[in-house]
Each structure stands twice: as C-alpha cells, then as structure tokens.
C-alpha cells in the first residue's frame, strides 16, 4: 500500500490500535506513528518504549491466516515487468523494524514475533511461496514466503 491508502484503511487502523492497547495494557509506553510519512517509509507503525528500550513494530493486518494457518514474509515488494522500473526489496529486509505483529482479522489474534526470529524460522527449511500480482501504478509482483503460524508460536 502507499501512504495515502494506509492512512485511509480502517482495518489497518484498527489493527494498529489493538496492538497499541495490547502493549499499553502490559505497562509499555507506545506511540502509533503510522500516519507519519517518515516512519511509513521505514515500515514502522508502532514505537514501543520501556525505559531506554525502544522497539519499532510493523503491524500486518491479515485476512487469510485464519483459513490457511500461514502468515507472509515479504521478500520482494516490487518486482516489475520491465527493467525500466526499480525493484524494491520487501519488509523482511528493513533494518528499521525489530518486530512484526500479525493481527489476524477474523479472530482478532495478535501474533508478535521479532523479525530476526521470523527470518530464522523462514530460512530453516524449504517453504511455500506466494506471488501477488498488481497492476497499478505499474504491473508488478510482490513475492514472499508463507510461514506456518504454529512455527512462530513454538
């Protein structure tokens, strides 16, 4: 999504609010920075603080995990049809993100995982992959791996 689409997405806003309250209820100070373009560019939705410990969180609102049992790990955000357009690596490689919090829409479940642990799980064995096709503003695919939720919750 681009910045404006995310700003206007009520589902993503609810997911961010639920993750924010989840950590506030556990005594953390948190800020929703998803509407700040500087943080959006880094993939950061929530900043969690406890003393000097600051953690950047990317919230992923998922509408399929309740059926599939999998969550995505995005390896390539933009893989265009033409060499005229730039390729863009996925959020799996954003150094600014410490944790991914999957918000499973149907069950309202929050699954927090460090990006480091998620990549360790992902690269521990062969995986199924996904490719999402987009046509705007150009033709491109988003490509990633499907990670079973049960492996994250171990």
Report pLDDT for 120: 98
Q: What local confidence, expressed as pLDDT, does residue 1 receive?
A: 52
- For the segment 76-102, the average pLDDT, to the nearest whole number, is 94
Residue 22, classified by CB atoms within 10 Å of its CB into exposed (0-12), middle (13-18) or buried (19+), is middle
Q: Which residues contact 148 (CB under 8 A, 6 or more apart)?
A: 69, 70
User: What's the gap between Cα 37 and its chain centre?
Assistant: 16
For 134-151, the pLDDT digits (tens) are 998 899 999 999 999 999
How much of the chain, in percent, has pLDDT values that exceed 70? 95
Q: Is pLDDT at 78 greater than 60 in this prediction?
A: yes
Contact 30, 112 (CB under 8 A): no
Cα 76 → chain centroid: 13
What average pLDDT does the segment 22-47 reach?
Answer: 94
Residue 87 clears pLDDT 60, i.e. is over it: yes
On average, the pLDDT of the chain sits at 94
Token pair, residue 40, equals 């959006």
Residue 8 clears pLDDT 90, i.e. is over it: no
Asked whether the whole model's pTM tops 0.85, one would answer yes
């Amino acid at each position: 999504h681009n910045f404006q689409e995310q700003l206007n997405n009520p589902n993503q806003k609810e997911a961010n609010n639920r993750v924010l309250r989840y950590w506030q209820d556990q005594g953390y100070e948190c800020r929703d920075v998803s509407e700040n373009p500087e943080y959006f560019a880094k993939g950061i939705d929530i900043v969690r603080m406890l003393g000097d410990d600051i953690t950047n969180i990317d919230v992923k609102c998922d509408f399929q995990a309740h059926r599939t049992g999998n969550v995505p790990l995005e390896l390539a955000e933009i893989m265009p049809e033409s060499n005229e357009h730039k390729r863009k690596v996925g959020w799996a490689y954003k150094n600014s993100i410490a944790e991914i919090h999957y918000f499973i829409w149907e069950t309202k479940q929050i699954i927090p995982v460090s990006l480091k642990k998620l990549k360790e799980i992902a690269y521990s064995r062969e995986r199924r992959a996904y490719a999402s096709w987009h046509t705007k503003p150009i033709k491109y695919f988003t490509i990633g791996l499907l990670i079973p939720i049960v492996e994250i919750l171990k």
